[in-house]
């Protein structure tokens, strides 16, 4: 195959030239930034510390997994309610902000050990056990509800306009926000579909720049401050994040640690998504096959290490990001060196006030336009898992598992405040509840079921 016809993209063990490396790394940062920062804002954690922890945890994850799994670690929405319950608990009402964070940190660190233990069990039990407990009906459905549960975030961001709008211009600001979001969305889609060669690898960054320029022009004409470079005020250019350290608390362990169990199906879905897209590119490039789906146990161990690293210095609990997988699927950039660069740049950004303000200056409407596309791709990747594994959609058991996961996950996310389902006097996270319900239902319906290999043998006979 000539180089002219060689498919564009980079596999996990391939490294782009330096300037491309930096651009691809920036694209990964842009994708992870909104959700990671939002978790910090909701939970009350320090933003700069959360950003730094994200980069450090990603770097640690990549090293622990032997540079074999190209995933980015960011703050997880699954833990928000549990962390918020500790931060707002009456028992800690007399504590300072940093003391409350320290208490929550202990639960976050301990949750990391749950993921590590689960990863070790999966590595020992083998692929057959994983497929039995977490079949594609579960992992694919989880990926779908993760993407769709974020739909409201994408749409509300697309409609958002600055709070400091001149009196009488609120209606205009709302309309312009939608124009900015739609131009961002449409341009990103056009870039991803029609750009060729090297340019096709940067659709998200180009879409962001397009939306940013539109926001700057409209803001300049109307006087509406869509772009603001003074979100964080500080006398110095360099400001190190505020690092806090865990303070032992059984309350934090009880509230936060169990959430790690519910994130396992999410991590499994991410690994399977990554496996499909990486090997699609590898096949087109005539390269070796990458056995990423066999590294689920290693991924969970790395995820747990990420929680411990992040929690130890004052960052929220996290997980590997579906948004970043979406960006990789669009750009065909699965390079581990790109993620290493992204993690290092993220840590640098966290220490420089002007850089943090530059990222914060991206209008929320622009983020909304990008999110509509990226969150939708996460959901579409769930469908890809189900299709790739050739799930029988006429099988009653499969339909039952998928149906229960979709309705509990989506109904719970949109039907109750904070996506917390009130039941029996307790509130349960919607996505976690959907995952656990799907796993349990699948196992119950599998009792007495013949192994697939035996069925195929009997058919052949």
Over the stretch 88-110, which tens digit does the pLDDT of each residue have? 777 888 899 999 999 999 999 99
Tokens of 111: 């949750």
Strands 318-320 and 420-423: unpaired
Nearest Cα residue to 326 out of 33, 23, 2, 32: 32
**CA 108 – CA 119 distance, rounded (Å):** 17
Reply yes or no on whether the pLDDT at 450 is more than 70: no
**CA 372 – CA 328 distance, rounded (Å):** 16
Over the stretch 169-193, which tens digit does the pLDDT of each residue have? 889 999 999 999 999 999 999 998 8
Say whether 273 sits in a helix, a strand or coil: helix
Reply yes or no on whether the pLDDT at 204 is more than 70: yes
H/E stretch holding 421: strand 420-423
Nearest Cα residue to 267 out of 150, 125, 122: 122
**Are 47 and 335 in contact, with CB atoms under 8 Å apart?**
no
Residue 378's pLDDT band (cuts 50, 70, 90): confident
Over the stretch 227-258, which tens digit does the pLDDT of each residue have? 988 777 666 788 888 899 999 988 888 878 87
* % pLDDT > 70, the chain: 94
Reply yes or no on whether the pLDDT at 461 is more than 50: no
Nearest Cα residue to 203 out of 369, 365, 75, 343: 369
* pTM exceeding the 0.85 threshold for the entire prediction: no
**CA 97 – CA 91 distance, rounded (Å):** 14
Residue 413's pLDDT band (cuts 50, 70, 90): confident
**CA distance readout (Å), 137 to 128, 134, 280, 387:** 15, 8, 21, 10
Reply yes or no on whether the pLDDT at 456 is more than 90: no
**CA 92 – CA 99 distance, rounded (Å):** 9
Over the stretch 248-286, which tens digit does the pLDDT of each residue have? 988 888 878 877 876 787 788 889 889 999 999 999 988
**CA 102 – CA 100 distance, rounded (Å):** 5
Q: What are phi and psi of 449, to 5 degrees?
A: -80, 135
H/E stretch holding 73: strand 73-75
Say whether 241 sits in a helix, a strand or coil: coil
Residue 434's pLDDT band (cuts 50, 70, 90): confident
∠ CA 43-46-48, nearest 5°, is 130
Place of tokens 């590590």: 116
Reply yes or no on whether the pLDDT at 452 is more than 70: no
């Amino acid at each position: 195959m000539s180089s002219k016809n060689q498919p564009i993209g980079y596999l996990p063990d391939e490294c782009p030239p330096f300037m491309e490396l930096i651009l691809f790394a920036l694209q990964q940062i842009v994708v992870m930034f909104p959700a990671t920062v939002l978790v910090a804002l909701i939970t009350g954690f320090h933003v700069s510390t959360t950003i730094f922890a994200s980069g450090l945890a990603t770097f640690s994850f990549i090293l622990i997994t032997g540079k074999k799994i190209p995933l980015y670690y960011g703050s997880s929405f699954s833990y928000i309610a549990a962390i918020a319950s500790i931060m707002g608990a009456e028992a800690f009402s007399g504590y300072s902000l940093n003391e409350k964070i320290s208490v929550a940190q202990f639960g976050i660190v301990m949750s990391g050990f749950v993921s590590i233990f689960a990863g070790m069990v999966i590595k020992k039990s083998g692929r057959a056990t994983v497929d039995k407990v977490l079949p594609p009906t579960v992992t694919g459905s989880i990926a779908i509800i993760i993407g769709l549960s974020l739909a409201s975030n994408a749409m509300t961001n697309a409609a958002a306009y600055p709070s400091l709008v001149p009196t009488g211009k609120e209606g205009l600001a709302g309309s312009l926000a939608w124009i900015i979001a739609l131009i961002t969305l449409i341009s990103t889609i056009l870039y991803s579909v029609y750009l060729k060669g090297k340019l096709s690898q940067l659709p998200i960054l180009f879409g962001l720049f397009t939306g940013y320029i539109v926001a700057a022009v409209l803001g300049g004409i109307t006087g509406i401050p869509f772009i603001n470079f003074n979100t964080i005020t500080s006398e110095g250019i360099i400001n190190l994040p505020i690092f806090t350290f865990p303070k032992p608390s059984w309350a934090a362990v009880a509230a936060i640690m169990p959430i790690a169990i519910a994130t396992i199906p999410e991590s499994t879905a991410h690994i399977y998504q990554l496996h499909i897209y990486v090997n699609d590119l590898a096949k087109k490039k005539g390269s070796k096959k990458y056995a990423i789906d066999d590294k689920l146990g290693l991924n969970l161990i790395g995820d747990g290490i990420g929680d411990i690293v992040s929690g130890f210095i004052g960052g929220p609990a996290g997980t590997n990001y579906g948004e970043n997988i979406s960006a990789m699927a669009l750009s065909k950039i699965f390079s581990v060196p790109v993620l290493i660069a992204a993690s290092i740049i993220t840590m640098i950004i966290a220490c420089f006030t002007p850089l943090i303000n530059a990222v914060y200056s991206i209008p929320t409407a622009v983020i909304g336009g990008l999110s509509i596309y990226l969150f939708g791709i996460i959901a579409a990747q769930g469908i890809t898992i189900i299709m790739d594994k050739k799930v029988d959609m006429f099988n009653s058991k499969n339909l039952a598992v998928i149906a229960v996961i979709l309705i509990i996950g989506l109904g719970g996310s949109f039907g109750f405040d904070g996506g917390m389902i009130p039941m029996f006097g307790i509130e349960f996270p919607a996505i976690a509840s959907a995952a656990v319900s799907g796993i349990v239902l699948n196992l119950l319906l599998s009792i007495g079921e013949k192994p697939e290999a035996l069925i195929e043998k009997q058919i052949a006979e």
